[in-house]
Amino acid sequence: MKHQKDFLDYGESMMKPLILREIAEEVGLHESTISRVTSNKYINTPRGIYELKFFFGSSIDNSSGNELASTAIRAKIKEVIKQEDPKKPLSDSEIVLLLKNQDINIARRTVAKYREILNIAPTNLRKIL
């Protein structure tokens, strides 16, 4: 859990990219062994109960050359949408621009994909009259 200390302290938006290979190298086991060991195993944290697989995932490079966990990016998208004006919800393109201001460069299609993973409706369905 030392790899995800910021997640435990501050939440999903602070998740660090972590891949099975890193842990496998650290403990001297094969990647497939780590995968099997973490399957269907859960951990109780101050933030709730999570499957161990939750802490592994893909990453995206930002313009500074740092890697951002896809989970952290999804959390930021969720946060941006939560703060939007319900009468004028943000489009995926507008979300891309807001994230770009936070040094997160992702494509509009990626925002749409992550929004769907989060079960957040598209702009036209989020609008409240």
Using one digit for the tens of pLDDT, what is the confidence trace for 9-59? 888 888 888 888 888 899 999 989 988 988 999 989 888 898 888 888 888
* 3-state secondary structure (DSSP) of residue 17: coil
Q: What backbone torsions phi and psi does residue 87 show, to the nearest 5 degrees? A: -80, -20
Structure confidence at residue 8 (pLDDT): 85
Structure confidence at residue 3 (pLDDT): 81
**Which position has the token pair 């951990």?**
43
At 83, the amino acid letter reads Q
Domain boundaries, the chain: 2-55, 73-121
Residue 93 has pLDDT above 90, yes or no: yes
Structure confidence at residue 73 (pLDDT): 92
Q: How far from the centroid of its chain's Cα atoms is residue 38's Cα?
A: 19
Structure confidence at residue 77 (pLDDT): 95
Structure confidence at residue 128 (pLDDT): 82
19, two tokens? 């891949």
Cα separation values, 129 from 75, 81, 90, Å? 26, 17, 14
Residue 113 has pLDDT above 90, yes or no: yes
The average confidence (pLDDT) of the chain is 89
Structure confidence at residue 15 (pLDDT): 85
The CATH number of 73-121, from 3.50.50.60, 3.80.10.10, 1.10.10.60, 2.60.40.730, is 1.10.10.60
